[in-house]
Amino acid sequence: MTKIVSAKIQKKSGKASKKSFKQTLQDFDKNKNKNQNKINKNLKDPSKKPNKYSKVKNGSNNVTGSTAVSVPSSSATSAPSSSLIQGSSSKLSSLQHQFLKKLEGARFRTINEELYTTRGDVAFQEFQRDPSKFEIYHKGYRDQAALWPVNPLDSIIQWIISCHKKATIADMGCGDARLAASVPNKVHSFDLVAVNTTVTPCDIAHVPLATGSVDIVIFCLSLMGVNMPDFIKEALRILKINGILKVAEVRSRFGDNKGILAFNKFLQRAGFEVKAHDRMAQNKMFFEVECVKMTDEGIVDDTFELKPCQYKKR
Ligand SMILES: C[S@@+](CC[C@H](N)C(=O)[O-])C[C@H]1O[C@@H](n2cnc3c(N)ncnc32)[C@H](O)[C@@H]1O
């Protein structure tokens, strides 16, 4: 019995990217009674071992430096935090919660892959058409970030508060706009979908700011589209001369140290002087670079690419 339930979960998880999550949820609800009978029968039989989905896994932060980052597994006993789950399944068993979590994880990984393998303008159209993608992505992203030993955004916030309190800032790919909420500065926050009124929804290759109007541009884990060089061009456009560009990225996106040096070279050719290189060198998970705009006459290499960041299923 355990095997049958597990096999069904695996099969349905695999289909999550093809079906809409809500549709799958509805299908699941239809079969709820049938599944519950099987589960009850299983629970009544003490000789049955718990299956792998009922194990409580250790939520370690998995700082491995490998090319993939793990999606956190969840405890079988923990309540689901997503509004989607809470709203529609308050009577579900913990096994069913686990199943829904798996579906959410699959959906998150699909959207994440989409963001890393499409252009920013295409992602913008898609997220505007279906803003629930943003919600699902950010739920998965928050779960993931909660397990990191450090979040690069925290270090950026500290850096602004201690060194650049008066600077005007553009936060490109701001997510839930935590940066703007954490510093006293004037912050222009941009993302594919606006979580609140402080955020302007747009593609960060084209932000509605005047040329040479900001002191600092931040890309915190947001150089996602395949046309990433266009985001750097836009940063160059809106930055004043001597303005600062700050990039934090998942280290594995650069491959190895050579990849990091190639990225620095790409920025130098574009017109920046690299000031603080890899302040987080001891951090196996993230890379951070800070540079100053020296000229408008640089050359941005349109062919430069970073590897997509994949979130491993655990
Ligand atoms: C990994 S999240 C990081 C969010 C935030 N910077 C933080 O550190 O919490 C990356 C964000 O970049 C946004 N993003 C990716 N490509 C974008 C684009 N072309 N235009 C606007 N936002 C984009 C995503 O929607 C997502 O919110």
CA 159/CA 29 separation, integer angstroms: 48
> How far is it, in rounded angstroms, from Cα 169 to Cα 194?
17
Contacts for 177 with CB less than 8 Å, ≥ 6 apart: 171, 189, 191, 195, 196, 198, 199
Which residues sit opposite 310 in a β-bridge? 68
Is 156 touching ligand 1 by the criterion CB < 6 Å?
Answer: no
Confidence grade of residue 101 (pLDDT, cut at 50, 70, 90)? confident
Rounded-to-integer distance, Cα 280 and Cα 275, Å: 14
pTM over cut 0.85: no
Among 96, 119, 104, which Cα is nearest to 29's? Answer: 96
What are the angstrom distances between the C-alpha of 265 and each of 205, 224, 271? 21, 19, 10
What is the average per-residue pLDDT within 256-275? 95
Cα end-to-end distance, the chain, whole Å:
23
- Listed in order, the ranges of the chain carrying CATH 3.40.50.150 are 150-293
Point out the ligand 1 atom lying closest to the alpha carbon of residue 193: 25
pLDDT, tens digit (0-9, with 9 covering 90-100), for 164-204: 999 999 999 999 999 999 999 999 999 999 999 999 999 99
Query: How does pLDDT run across 140-173, given as a tens digit for each residue?
Result: 999 999 999 999 999 999 999 999 999 999 999 9
Most distant CA atoms of the chain, gap in Å? 74
Instruction: Please state the rounded mean pLDDT for residues 70-82.
Output: 34
Ligand 1 mean position to 232 CA, how many Å?
A: 14
Which residue type sits at 93?
A: S
Give, using CA atoms, the residue closest to atom 9 of ligand 1: 175
Answer yes or no: is pLDDT of 63 > 50.
no
- pLDDT score, position 176: 97
Closest residue by CA, ligand 1 atom 14: 173
179 lines ligand 1 (CB under 6 A): no
Report how far ligand 1's centroid is from the alpha carbon of 189 (Å): 10
Q: What pLDDT digit, counting tens, does each position of 226-236 carry?
A: 999 999 999 99
Q: Is the CB of 111 under 6 A from ligand 1?
A: no
CA distance 177 to 166: 18
The CATH number of the domain covering residues in 150-293: 3.40.50.150
pLDDT at 73 over 50: no
Which residue type occupies 213?
S
Q: Say if ligand 1 is within 6 A of residue 92 CB.
A: no
pLDDT of residue 306: 96
Q: Would you say the CB of residue 247 lies under 6 angstroms from ligand 1?
A: no
Q: How far is the CA of 214 from the centre of ligand 1 (A)?
A: 19
Question: pLDDT tens-digit profile of 110-140?
Answer: 999 999 999 999 999 999 999 999 999 999 9
pLDDT at 26: 52
- 96 pLDDT band, cuts 50/70/90, is confident
87 vs 286: which has the higher pLDDT:
286
**Angle, in degrees to the nearest 10, between helices 21-30 and 94-117:** 160
Is the predicted pLDDT of residue 244 greater than 50, yes or no? yes
Q: How far is the CA of 225 from the centre of ligand 1 (A)?
A: 10
Which of 155, 224, 288 is the best mutation target for the ligand 1 pocket, counting ligand atoms within 8 Å of the beta carbon and taking the most?
224
Distance in Å, CA 283 to ligand 1 centroid = 21
Which residue's alpha carbon is at the smallest distance from atom 12 of ligand 1? 173
User: Does pLDDT of 8 surpass 80?
Assistant: no
For 276-300, how does the pLDDT look when each residue is reduced to its tens digit (9 = 90+)?
777 666 788 999 999 999 999 999 9
| Under 8 Å between Cβ of 95 and 39 | yes
C-beta 170 within 6 A of ligand 1: no
Mean pLDDT value of segment 73-93? 45
With a 6 A CB cut-off, is 192 part of the ligand 1 pocket?
Answer: yes
Q: How confident is the model at residue 10 (pLDDT cuts 50, 70, 90)?
A: very low
Contact between 103 and 12 under an 8 Å Cβ cutoff? The reply is yes
Three-class SS of the chain: CHHHHHHHHHHHHHHCCCCCHHHHHHHHHHCHHHHHHHHHHHHHCCCCCCCHHHCCCCCCCCCCCCCEEECCCCCCCCCCCCHHHHHHCCCCCHHHHHHHHHHHHHHHHHHHHHHHHCCHHHHHHHHHHCCHHHHHHHHHHHHHHCCCCCCHHHHHHHHHHHHCCCCEEEEECCCCCHHHHHCCCEEEEEECCCCCCCEEECCCCCCCCCCCCEEEEEEECCCCCCCHHHHHHHHHHHEEEEEEEEEEEEHHHHCCHHHHHHHHHHHHHHCEEEEEECCCCCCCCEEEEEEEECCCCCCCCCCCCCCCCEEECC
Using pLDDT thresholds of 50, 70 and 90, give the confidence band for residue 59: very low
pLDDT digits over 13-44, tens only? 333 344 444 554 455 445 444 444 443 444 34
- The average confidence (pLDDT) of the chain is 78
- Listed in order, the ranges of the chain carrying CATH 1.10.10.2150 are 82-144
* Pocket flag, ligand 1, residue 153 (CB < 6 Å): yes
| CATH number for the segment(s) 82-144 | 1.10.10.2150
